[in-house]
A = this chain, B = another copy of it.
Amino acid sequence: MKNISKSQSKVLNCITDWVKAHDYPPTLRELSKLTGFKSTWTIRYHLNNLQEAGYIKLKKGFSRGIILMKNVFGIPVLGSISAGKPVDAIENIDGQIDLSNMFKDQKDMFALKVKGDSMQDAGIFEGDIAFVKKQLTAQDGEIVVALLDSEAVVKKYYLTKSGIKLVPANQKYQPIISKNAQIIGKVVGIIRKYSGRNI
């Protein structure tokens, strides 16, 4: 991304602030008030430049037709932290996590609250939220959600001659081999929150 002038970043910051607060973009005149620039033309001037620099996209003729390119709700991912420097030193930022886009493809996705400790050794604990992509088949070694005796279980999947083998990641439990286990989906990710509720 090109670097931008002071005025341009002022406008950009006002847009992101507004979006954070309202969940929708501002109009030219709202930006005019926020930035202090008294002419809508000045705003458009900067908006056009911001668009050329790749920071926003403008929809002609639409009110509030400003689309931010950088996701507002992202969280910075730090690559490394070194002593002395403050944590928010920009140089260390490795990327930006956009939680909204983290598990896109959402129409074929659902989430499941994990019960029990059978997948403990795979780092999936009781209370974790598992993100599941709906599919009826799986490949060996993938972690799946399967329907077994009208109960949903999270296990590792293997296909054997005698049927589907569902392997827990915990020595306390035994693998299950079943001919009528039904695969519901594949676990594509998990999320865990250490304090407070997850939902």
Residues of A near any B CB (own CB < 8 A): 22-25, 27, 63-64, 67-68, 73, 75-84, 87-88, 94-97, 99-100, 102-103, 106, 109-113, 120, 123-125, 128-129, 131, 134, 143, 145, 147, 149-152, 182, 184-185, 187-195, 198-199
- Among residues of B, the one whose C-beta sits closest to the C-beta of A186 is B194
Q: Is the CB–CB distance between A192 and B193 below 8 Å?
A: no
Quote the shortest CB–CB distance from A161 to chain B (angstroms): 25
Asked whether, in the complex, the Cβ of A189 is within 8 Å of the Cβ of B188, the reply is: no
Q: Do the beta carbons of A150 and B83 come within 8 Å of each other?
A: yes
12 inter-chain pairs at a CB distance below 8 angstroms, sorted by A residue, are A23-B25, A24-B25, A73-B106, A75-B110, A77-B110, A83-B149, A87-B134, A94-B113, A103-B193, A123-B123, A188-B193, A189-B194
Q: How many copies of the shown chain assemble into the complex? A: 2
Do A199 and B110 touch (CB < 8 A)?
Answer: no
User: Closest CB of chain B to A124's CB: distance in Å?
Assistant: 7
| A109 engages B75 (CB within 8 Å) | yes
A97 with B199: CB separation less than 8 A: yes
- B87 pairs with A199, CB closer than 8 A: no
A-B residue pairs, 8 tightest by C-beta: A83-B150, A81-B152, A95-B199, A99-B99, A24-B24, A123-B123, A189-B193, A77-B111
